[in-house]
Chains A and B, each alone.
Chain A
Amino acid sequence: MSQPVIIKSNRYGINLILDKTTPFRELLGHIKEKFLESDKFFKNARMAISFEGRELTPEEEYEIIDTITQNTSIHIACVIDNNEIREQLVKQKMDEYDSMAAGNTGKIYKGTLRSGHVLESETSLIVIGDVNPGAKVVSAGNIVILGALKGTAYAGETGDDTCFVAALDMNPMQIKIGDVIGRSEDKGFLASLRERRKSTAEPQIATVSGSQILIEPITKNTFNNI
């Protein structure tokens, strides 16, 4: 092996590939060096760590973690044994958590959000009331507004573009789902007010279609695809 220590990052944190033959003390020195180099990159990151390439005693593992946390601002959340069953379990747990955040649990907020009011949630959100211009609703999951959406709504804030925003009266200033963002037309305030008056409001839903936000009426079939 050309390098005694290699840092690889994976979905949950970092994987340390350690050389078998280097003496442990020397290896610790290399680890310290490596992490100091990349401290800026990992700044304040919270991550899981796993080891590969070498059998470590619990004391040795502890010493490595100690070296990392003492010399950098990285927070080691947990140590993952590098065996596949374990990884599968972690993956499953993480996915479960993601899907829970994205859709299956939610919070209800009752009341109208006025300009300057920001409502944030790590789960889906149901707002019973209006979201006025200048107000903002942010959720890691879906957003349902039982009222008029006239302000801004960010769904799937952690990057999930399968989320949706639904409202009884859909008139958003801006909608973002995952990383896709859409904004209202550049019409004058009075003109859009008039236009809104003319048409009767119907419940609509915003989803991501391609790389655009698509707003369409809610029908019986809408939720079959979500």
Chain B
Amino acid sequence: MSEVIVITSGKGGVGKTTTTANVGTGLAQLNKKVVLIDTDIGLRNLDVVMGLENRIVYNLVDVVEGNCRIKQALIKDKKYPDLALLPSAQTRDKTSVTPEQMKKLTDELREEFDYILLDCPAGIEQGFQNAIAGADRALVVTTPEVSAIRDADRIIGLLEAHEIKQTQLIVNRLRMDMVKRGDMMTVDDVCEILAIKLIGVVPDDEQIVISTNQGEPLVGTDAMAGKAYANICKRLLGEEVPFLDLDKKENVFTKLASLFK
């Protein structure tokens, strides 16, 4: 049974695209057939994060408008043959595609892939409506900031209204040092406010910036964020994985720092 998962947040810049790239790659590492769809028409960047920008010939709008077959527009990943990307169009806008067309597209892709991940644009307008149209499940990404959380709350309400059965939360860019100082909300705070099931916590990690700039998702590497994403993938498959102790690395670091004081 294949699953269509939308990655959404409401607010921009919280890490939807990074999450899509890493969760998609992580699922491919677990030998699943995965396709990533960038639904952010006009502001495409999932291809950049995946390092596949130079391979784009056709895009999502071309497929929907019948300018090409789906197969022609799918770009195979550099490392994982079972991972594909359907890039967005850069020169069009969100109204070039309708929710009905998106649903038809995802339904067709179900036949070939185990997981169809939709990278949703920020906002709640047509781009959002397109992205959630065919989804069975949603991953809501938020950072521990009140603005992101307020938007996430609104998004969760809209997902409920669209009867998306399963909605789970990823708390991204958590900074343990700030949490400890009491300057940042804890994961528990966020979960209490949003009241949905948590599927992952990703620490703020500069390795993410490095990996994004290289166009190589870091899931599965030794970086804390890489481990966190790998765990999210396992949880998506139904495995029970304990949450990372994000404090550990910080402890070593602070110990070292205190030695030099």
Contact = CB atoms under 8 A, between A and B. Distances in A.
B189 A116 contact: no
Interface bracket on B: 10 to 19
Contact of B153 (A133, A189, A190, A194): A133
Given A133-B150, A134-B150, A189-B146, A115 B157 contact: yes
A149 B60 CA distance: 43
A117 B185 contact: no
Interface in A126-144: 130, 132-135
B160 interface: yes
Main secondary structure of the interface of B (DSSP, over half): helix
A190 B157 contact: no
Contacts, number: 34
Interface bracket on A: 10 to 19
A112 B195 contact: yes
Contacts of B199: none
B75 interface: no
Interface string B183-209: 111000100010100000000000000
Interface string A183-218: 000000110011000000000000000000000000
Contacts of A132: 153, 193
Interface string B146-189: 10001101101110100000000000000000000011110001
A20 interface: no
A117 B157 contact: yes
A114 interface: yes
Nearest to B188: A197
A63 to B, nearest CB: 52
Nearest to A113: B157
A132 B185 CA distance: 17
A132 B160 CA distance: 15
A193 B189 contact: yes
Contacts of B151: 115
A113 B195 CA distance: 12
A134 B146 contact: no
Contacts of B160: 114
Given A189-B146, A190-B185, A193-B189, A116 B154 contact: yes
Contacts of B195: 112, 130
Given A130-B195, A134-B150, A114 B185 contact: no
B154 A114 contact: yes
A135 B157 CA distance: 10
Nearest to B152: A115
Given A112-B195, A189-B146, A134 B189 contact: no
30 contacts: A112-B195, A113-B157, A114-B153, A114-B154, A114-B156, A114-B157, A115-B150, A115-B151, A115-B153, A116-B154, A116-B157, A116-B158, A117-B157, A130-B195, A132-B153, A132-B193, A133-B150, A133-B153, A134-B150, A134-B153, A134-B154, A135-B157, A189-B146, A190-B146, A190-B182, A190-B183, A190-B185, A193-B185, A193-B189, A194-B182
Given A114-B156, A117-B157, A190-B146, 18 more contacts: A114-B157, A114-B160, A115-B150, A115-B153, A115-B157, A116-B157, A130-B195, A132-B153, A132-B193, A133-B153, A134-B150, A134-B153, A134-B154, A135-B157, A190-B182, A190-B183, A193-B185, A193-B189
